[in-house]
Amino acid sequence: MNHLLKMLDLSKEEIIDILNLADQLKYENKNGIQHHVLKGKTLGMIFQKSSTRTRVSFETGMYQLGGQALFLSNRDLQIGRGEPVQDTARVLSRYLDGIMIRTFEQKEVEDLAEYGSIPIINGLTDFCHPCQVLADLMTVREFKGQFDGLKMCYIGDGNNMANSLIVGGLKVGMEVSIACPNDYQPDPQVLEFVKQYGDKFSMTDVPLEAAKDADVLFTDVWTSMGEEAETEKRKIAFAGYQINDEIMSAAKPDAMVQHCLPAHREEEITEKVFEAHADEIFEEAENRLHAQKAVMVRVMSDKK
Ligand code: CP
Ligand code: NVA
């Protein structure tokens, strides 16, 4: 594995390998065992959108692996003034050992990988959020023990989280159901991908139908970063696409709830359901650290 650009690029074996390493790094971290496998290495972190979890977990993770991380804001980089990504990639490749980038267009991430000569990690684009979904899968396996036989349900916008969860969930062997309004379906590339999974994938615009007998329920904000101008329109389109008591009673009695955060209480999830499942949701947030450390080890370590 040379980069982490999108879940579509990973095989099931690569995903499971990252999850196994993430579990090991988590165990070692909790037991005070140091693992400085990226000693002397530098990760550049380019942010063209806001972040709490991604920034802090990558920066801390890199430090725990013995390296350092540089926070590179769009406001300060020349890329923000129009320097082409092709040139930025070739320059940064001469200083850094890896780049994590959070931006709008997936093409920018793919271009960085094409023109640069160092590993590129996608820290969220409008198309996908692979780091988040690796942490999500890690959390599901931690709480449920396995993937086989589980039904994962996502309710809400067919956005970057939906795109990545669908691909990741199906690849590891879960059944995946989606409920989204017809005008907000997942990316066509993802809807093409699911065809090979037959009835292990289903999509509806009726949340209760999608949630039936689910083992894991996911949701995400109705308005993602960059779509703020559509907030009011989206509030109308997504009314009813909420994880609440009614949805929970359609799911299995021991269903877990996941949210990538930040959450908007009483929009995509009620305060009551959120707080009842806070342990699972904040474990998921913690697992960003461990899953991303595993990704960095796999793509940046000299010993691959
Ligand atoms: N879930 C997630 O990526 O959070 P941040 O936007 O805070 O990084
Ligand atoms: N879909 C959200 C995820 C945030 C982590 C967004 O893109 O803003």
Active-site residue flag, 129: yes
Q: Please tell me the predicted confidence (pLDDT) of residue 7.
A: 98
The upper half-sphere exposure of residue 250, i.e. CA atoms within 13 Å in the direction of its Cβ, equals 16
Dihedral sign for Cα 55, 46, 220, 258, please: negative
Q: Please tell me the predicted confidence (pLDDT) of residue 302.
A: 85
Of the residues 157, 224, 260, 292, which should be mutated to test ligand 2's pocket, given the most ligand atoms within 8 Å of the CB?
A: 224
Active-site residue flag, 215: no
Q: Please give the C-alpha separations between residue 169 and each of 74, 103, 258, in angstroms, as whole numbers.
A: 32, 24, 13
Say how far apart CA 118 and CA 207 lie, in whole Å: 42
Radius of gyration of the chain (CA): 19
Query: 185-209 burial string, b = 16+ CB within 10 Å, else e?
Result: bbbeebbebbeeeeeebbbebebee
Residue 143 near residue 281 (C-beta atoms within 8 A): no
Q: What is the pTM of this model?
A: 0.98
Q: Report the nearest-CA residue for atom 1 of ligand 1.
A: 260
The torsion defined by the Cα of 213, 216, 222 and 225, in degrees rounded to 10, comes to -160
Q: Report the nearest-CA residue for atom 4 of ligand 1.
A: 53
Q: What is the pLDDT along the chain (304 residues), one digit of tens a residue?
A: 999 999 999 999 999 999 999 999 999 999 999 999 999 999 999 999 999 999 999 999 999 999 999 999 988 899 989 999 999 999 999 999 999 999 999 999 999 999 999 999 999 999 999 999 999 999 999 999 999 999 999 999 999 999 999 999 999 999 999 999 999 999 999 999 999 999 999 999 999 999 999 999 999 999 999 999 999 999 999 999 999 999 999 999 999 999 999 999 999 999 999 999 999 999 999 999 999 999 999 999 986 5
Six-digit token string for 135: 């942490």
Residue 3 near residue 113 (C-beta atoms within 8 A): yes
Q: Of 132, 66, 129, nearest to 286 (Cα)?
A: 132
Say how far apart CA 107 and CA 125 lie, in whole Å: 9
